[in-house]
Structure 1
């Protein structure tokens, strides 16, 4: 640290910080900085951040915090310069230290510079993301409680939107990386009503929500996702959360149905809302579809059996968008969580399942003249994914179709074809069409058929799920000796493929699952001789 009058020292220190920012402002690694230069830089930063310094002003503090933010990008070198004193400075300048008291009356501190608060929050976000020590300090100093306390003051117009955004970003990071904080935030600090308040404040306006508001909503949804991960519908300790969770779902519904400045941000909101639905207890699903009486039905644009299904309409629209991208990466990152959410919602609520069935698997007509996977409808695109090489996606798509078919094997085969559904049937032991105990309470309504389907049904191939007619018998005109010869040729070919490890012939066991055979001749055994056959 240079000697001399305080003003001179401050000038030299700020010059050093500004030079560092100029050299490394656009870089994510701090290379070429010697230990002596780093120590001098940290001394200059500490001087600029000293409390009650007569030579400090807001711009100098922001500049010093910007230097810390740049240093915090370099994950591998954080331990070389970070210490608890720097953390305390960041807590003070971010304003979180003011809100750390639990149960106190939450008041805004006087003369807060939101530029300083924002820059300090950026530093805390970077450090928390990149360093385990900082994560532990955030848990120890109860940063999430401080954020919750400050969030209670968000209705005050003096709170800058960027501060709200980085508050929620830091809350998301801490609850993602420090698991022990989640339950404490939910049960002791009552985080969920606060998050619901933030969403309510957004949707109370009739104007289109801006991109910055969408970014804040996304961080709120991500934080709520982390907080709901420990929840189990069978845990009595979470019973007090029932009202706050149902209110949160109601606010998410309003968020999904609100108008947005850009379509891209609206789709992002739907994506993160869908992720959250996979962690919520089953009783919350019904609050996505509020009921209305008959007199109000005309005023509800998206009414289904007395319920407003607008939120489900938006989720299904997003499904149509993500299914347009057929890349494996999109299937894993976008299709997988969305289809999982739809399956969870359909299994949780009868009305949601019925509406999803209507949109995904409408009554069949002359489209059965094409293969189930051919075409651009939701049914076609989902059936196509039943044979994707991505095993996880294939499984969740099959689960969704199985659930909207009320876990009825015959109905699933009708809409997808036996070949497409074989993977799910084999996994669940349903290859024989055996009945299993449903995972949800389904109604007993029948699957009504259209006149077009009834006319074509006799010639529909159950394996392909397609109408096929006019096929000639390949064995017509053959003698019995010729038929026997061709059969032996087929058996020999299958035997060679089995010995080469290309295929593994199987029969269907008594549990409804494939059972490998040791020799292809076992395939010729009469399955009716199995006493366990249904």
Structure 2
């Protein structure tokens, strides 16, 4: 397809011929992402020419074809010069029916034709591409207050216009992800939290039966439709960005608790695909980890549906779902940083703040010990899996797993070592300055004896470093002569001396506050902390 032919027709003003040539161009380049450098000047001129056509009164089909071409071209960051200007952004915003400062935008009516709706969708897609690929466009969108106009636009979009709503939500997500100032504007001035909460309520068909309690999913319609799931995911992503900003207003507590109630409802729902269900649940967990921890009582406080008497009448269905989600992510064995850290953080903070959640998770993750013949990291229980992650190569991942277990142990060093062994817990204890034992700063209920008889009977034989019973190893020096023993001892002394002189090793000890320091600066040497005391919730 000759770029010169298209440009000559655009200059000539024959819109019907332009439409035909662009349709052919779009068909040839719809899957193109790597553009030829040689035609860069031609693509820039084509972008400028398309904007010229779009400002003329042409048929909706011609407009949508021009916008489709512009969307394909906007994948190339080098040709966005004509589009990321004030004129370009306002032109696209007007075609998307978004009222921006200095522009025009009429709401999409119910009786609009399919061709007119296609224009709006293509304009929104173009804006998404341009905003994603151009910092200048991001700044211009902030200058013309596109985000505020976008929120007003979304209020007028009905569920009948699925793609219009979807790409409007995606554009809000992009603007809030790429511009921190836009996040604050969306939250404080545009009322985006309330708007997106309404989108979630409609998409998930939420029916409130209590102040923050949604009715259980209808057994007749247990699945979220694909269209509603797409809207839900985009709204969750945008809400995640917007709630990253500080929330100090008193009236926000009610709105945030509503969101937690909706997230609880979502976690109980499924889509017709396991992958899509997990994606939706993952975004819900990300959002929950963003919200104030005091609001998370909504997850378990559901009077209409009832709860377990053992946990103060609280409902633990969603807590179990979070635990199952975490275990599936561990079993996948990849992408722990993004896939596992949020759910670990959510369960850690909710356990630290809400006693009933901690008590329930403790029974599921750290039941009373009976068999301590194997190392804590060996096995297929949740505890075994989490202990293995405590030595993961990624610092954030291993600290997240260790912190979760530490909180379940009421931040008691002795109890943590009982379940994990000193070797696995050393990293966390060093970071927290607790190598010498003790507790964290959080206050918990008093400890009670919960050790099983099996554990008590073998407790003196447990190696505190490995956390399990070790069979006696044969003494390698038993069959050595005195000369051989002296030779090996001298060899060891020489090796340590050489490493010390090269500063490859440095003798360390533990201060009274639990931190490491050179041996001469410490009050006492480093020794394993005493064997564990027991606790109970």
Q: TM class, shorter-chain normalised?
A: 0.7 to 0.9
Name the counterpart of 2:45.
39
**CA offset at residue 418 of structure 1?**
0.7
Name the counterpart of 1:171.
172
Total equivalences in the alignment: 502
Question: In 2, distance between residues paired with 1:321 and 1:70?
Answer: 38
Q: Does structure 1 retain, via aligned residues, the 8 Å contact 2:433–2:514?
A: yes
**CA offset at residue 68 of structure 1?**
0.9
Name the counterpart of 1:532.
none
Q: Does structure 2 retain, via aligned residues, the 8 Å contact 1:228–1:280?
A: yes
Match of 1:229 among 240, 244, 254: 244
**CA offset at residue 363 of structure 1?**
1.9
Question: In 2, distance between residues paired with 1:191 and 1:81?
Answer: 27
Question: In 2, distance between residues paired with 1:27 and 1:320?
Answer: 40
Q: Does structure 2 retain, via aligned residues, the 8 Å contact 1:285–1:348?
A: no
Deviations 1:12-48 (A, max 9, x none): 322332243234221124324263564256425532x
* Runs of 5+ consecutive residues of structure 1 not aligned to the other structure: 529-534
Q: Does structure 1 retain, via aligned residues, the 8 Å contact 2:510–2:517?
A: yes
**CA offset at residue 517 of structure 1?**
3.7
Question: In 1, distance between residues paired with 2:92 and 2:310?
Answer: 51
Deviations 1:493-525 (A, max 9, x none): 43434445554431112221121347xxx9997
Q: Does structure 2 retain, via aligned residues, the 8 Å contact 1:361–1:379?
A: yes
**In structure 2, do the counterparts of structure 1 residues 162 and 111 end up closer, same or farther at CA, with 3 Å as the change threshold?**
closer
Name which of structure 1's ranges 70-79 and 496-505 shifts more when overlaid on structure 2.
496-505
**In structure 2, do the counterparts of structure 1 residues 306 and 515 end up closer, same or farther at CA, with 3 Å as the change threshold?**
same
Question: In 1, distance between residues paired with 2:51 and 2:494?
Answer: 81
Question: In 2, distance between residues paired with 1:141 and 1:429?
Answer: 51
**CA offset at residue 412 of structure 1?**
0.6
Name which of structure 1's ranges 500-509 and 166-175 shifts more when overlaid on structure 2.
500-509
Name the counterpart of 1:419.
423
Give me the TM-score of the superposition, normalised by structure 1: 0.84
SS at 2:517 equivalent:
strand
SS at 2:341 equivalent:
helix
SS at 2:509 equivalent:
strand
Name the counterpart of 2:78.
76
Question: In 1, distance between residues paired with 2:75 and 2:397?
Answer: 35
Question: In 2, distance between residues paired with 1:466 and 1:393?
Answer: 24
Question: In 2, distance between residues paired with 1:452 and 1:100?
Answer: 77
* Runs of 5+ consecutive residues of structure 2 not aligned to the other structure: 1-6, 207-217, 528-537
Verify: 1:12 aligned to 2:27, yes or no: no
Verify: 1:376 aligned to 2:377, yes or no: no
Q: Does structure 2 retain, via aligned residues, the 8 Å contact 1:16–1:44?
A: no
SS at 1:507 equivalent:
strand
Question: In 1, distance between residues paired with 2:261 and 2:65?
Answer: 42
**CA offset at residue 110 of structure 1?**
6.1
Deviations 1:195-235 (A, max 9, x none): 12122223227321133332322221111111111225xx4
Show the 5 A alignment for 1:194-209.
194-204=195-205, 206=218, 207=221, 208-209=223-224
Q: Does structure 2 retain, via aligned residues, the 8 Å contact 1:192–1:224?
A: yes
Name the counterpart of 2:211.
none
**In structure 2, do the counterparts of structure 1 residues 322 and 436 end up closer, same or farther at CA, with 3 Å as the change threshold?**
closer
Match of 2:145 among 142, 146, 157: 142
**CA offset at residue 116 of structure 1?**
1.7
**CA offset at residue 73 of structure 1?**
0.5
Verify: 1:393 aligned to 2:397, yes or no: yes
Question: In 1, distance between residues paired with 2:258 and 2:8?
Answer: 58
Q: Does structure 1 retain, via aligned residues, the 8 Å contact 2:26–2:72?
A: yes
Name the counterpart of 1:531.
none
Give me the TM-score of the superposition, normalised by structure 2: 0.83
Verify: 1:315 aligned to 2:322, yes or no: yes
Show the 5 A alignment for 1:18-417.
18-31=23-36, 32-33=38-39, 35=41, 38-39=44-45, 42-44=48-50, 46-47=52-53, 49-50=54-55, 53=57, 56-79=58-81, 82-97=84-99, 108=109, 111=112, 113-154=116-157, 156-158=158-160, 160-204=161-205, 206=218, 207=221, 208-231=223-246, 235=248, 238-292=249-303, 297=306, 304-327=311-334, 330-366=335-371, 368-417=372-421
Match of 2:468 among 446, 466, 491: 466
Question: In 1, distance between residues paired with 2:10 and 2:279?
Answer: 55
Question: In 1, distance between residues paired with 2:282 and 2:47?
Answer: 43
Q: Does structure 1 retain, via aligned residues, the 8 Å contact 2:362–2:408?
A: yes
Question: In 1, distance between residues paired with 2:411 and 2:168?
Answer: 44
Deviations 1:357-387 (A, max 9, x none): 2222222221x21111111221111111111
**CA offset at residue 339 of structure 1?**
1.8
Deviations 1:62-95 (A, max 9, x none): 1111011011101133125543322222111111
Question: In 2, distance between residues paired with 1:523 and 1:148?
Answer: 61
Name which of structure 1's ranges 483-492 and 414-423 shifts more when overlaid on structure 2.
483-492
**In structure 2, do the counterparts of structure 1 residues 34 and 115 end up closer, same or farther at CA, with 3 Å as the change threshold?**
same
**CA offset at residue 446 of structure 1?**
2.7
Deviations 1:296-338 (A, max 9, x none): 64xx6999541122222222111111111334xx122222233
**In structure 2, do the counterparts of structure 1 residues 83 and 321 end up closer, same or farther at CA, with 3 Å as the change threshold?**
same
Question: In 1, distance between residues paired with 2:152 and 2:329?
Answer: 38
Question: In 1, distance between residues paired with 2:46 and 2:185?
Answer: 40
**In structure 2, do the counterparts of structure 1 residues 500 and 131 end up closer, same or farther at CA, with 3 Å as the change threshold?**
same
Question: In 1, distance between residues paired with 2:50 and 2:8?
Answer: 9
Name which of structure 1's ranges 446-455 and 356-365 shifts more when overlaid on structure 2.
446-455
